Structures are given as C-alpha cells and as structure tokens.
A and B are shown apart, each in its own frame.
Chain A
Amino acid sequence: MTIPFAIIAVLTIAAAVGAMMLRNLVHCSLALVVAFVGLAAAYLQLDAQFVGFAQVLVYVGAVAILIVFAVLLTRGGEAPEKSVFSSSWIWGTLVAAGVFGMLAWTINNSFASQREPAEKVEATVKQIGDALMTKFVLPLEVIGLLLTAALIGAVIIAMKEEKK
C-alpha cells in the first residue's frame, strides 16, 4: 500500500462518515464534496484521468450544488431539534456492518485480489472519444435521450402545481 493511497482512503472514508453522521444538512453536503474529490483522486491513482475529471465536473460541480439547492429549498439548513436518525437505526447499522463484513471476507478470500496490474495503461481522451463514436455510439445516444427525459421530468415534477 502506498502512502498517497492511504491518505486518499482515510480522507474519503472520514468525509463519507461525516456526510452520513453530521446534524446540519449543509455540513453533510460539504462533507460529501470532500468524499467525491477523494474518489476522483483515487481514479487518478488508477490512471483513469478522464474519469477523474468527469467525476469532479459532474459530482462536485453539478450533483453537490443540486443537493445544496434542495437542502435550502426544503429549509433543511437549520439543524433539527429532534434526532436525525430513525427509530430503527440500530437495525440499519447492523445490516450495513454485516454487508461490510461479508464483502471484506469475500474480497480477502478471492483469487481475483491477487492479480497484478497491467504494465502500462493508456486511456487518453482521444481513445475514449474514438470508442464513444464507434463501438459505444448507441449507448451514447441512449444516454443523451435519458438525460433529456430526466431534465424535462425533473422540471415538470418540481413545477408549482396549478390551482384548478
């Protein structure tokens, strides 16, 4: 394990825990931004530069801002006086801990985790663009359609209801 990876992992996990545990929703969304940046750094460690920058653009630039807007529009900015956790929180935590234990046990025992990385990996933007325009052109069109539908749908759902 290298030192940069250890720093990235600790930072990402601490920020993710903060995003789930903090009382104030604005603090939660800011902790989430740190977790997304940590993930982008992990992608850069894995030689996936384009995905790392797409992560920063889409998640830090768009999704996090969208979440902050939603927090402010639903007046979640002030910390609630009641508990922020549901009454059955102990079961949720147990389920999550069980899932993590199961996954960690499987990862440690799997033969795939002994793999060596490929010597030299090149994923330039040119290669990705070529692949998007040739082999993956149909999924690209479909995702364009999906994003258009989601855009229109989100506007219609959030629009003020007309008084009849």
Chain B
Amino acid sequence: MKYLCLAYGDEQKYAAMSKAEIEEMGVKCKSHDEEMRQGGHLALIASLAPTRSTTTLRPLNGKTVLFDGPYAETKEQVGGFFILEARDLNEAIQAASKHPAARVGEKMGCALEIRPIEFYEVTEAIQA
C-alpha cells in the first residue's frame, strides 16, 4: 500500500530562527533524511516553496476562481511531502518516523501526517 506523508511546519517560526539555528537544524536533518532514503520504502520525495507562492483554485458559481494563498489558512502548512510503499500502517509509521519533521523541528511547529493513498498512477509522459 502507498502512503502520502505530508511534512508540516510553521513558516513564521522558521523565519524567526537565527542563521546558526537553521544551520544546526540542517545538520540534524541530513542524517535523518539519509536514514529514510536508505530505508527502502521511499517512492518519491519533494519539498515545497513557501506558501506565499501558493495559488488555490475553487469552484464558485460554476466558474473556477483563483485565490492567493493555501487552501487552509492555518499557521502550520505543508512544506514537503513524500510517498512511501509499506505493507501496512505500522511499517509506514516506522519509515515515516525517520523523517526530520517527525524527529527534529519541534521549534518550527513541525508535524508529519500520514494519509493512505487509494489510487496511485505514475504516467509515462513525463520522466522525473
């Protein structure tokens, strides 16, 4: 089964961090990232641009209307995602718990959400 994992964080808190703190975090993240890559469950991984560059499309009176900003106006926003292949939720939790958002980044309000994927298709038209 495939699971979509969404890594959350608080952009404001991140912006308030000092350069030294960010560097320190970067060092910690690297080993966790590497551990996850080695884990053999990762199908795809991506990190996202800040939400200020986000556009949301909503249906309104039969038309598609564009909104500036993310779907949910909350403090914690998705900052990255990855897709895991795992036998079951326990295996997915184990694999996902290696991601930095589940281990470090408490200061940035980090969190990791695991969503089972019901339908998954990789098209051949575009190569990664």
Mutual binders A and B = no
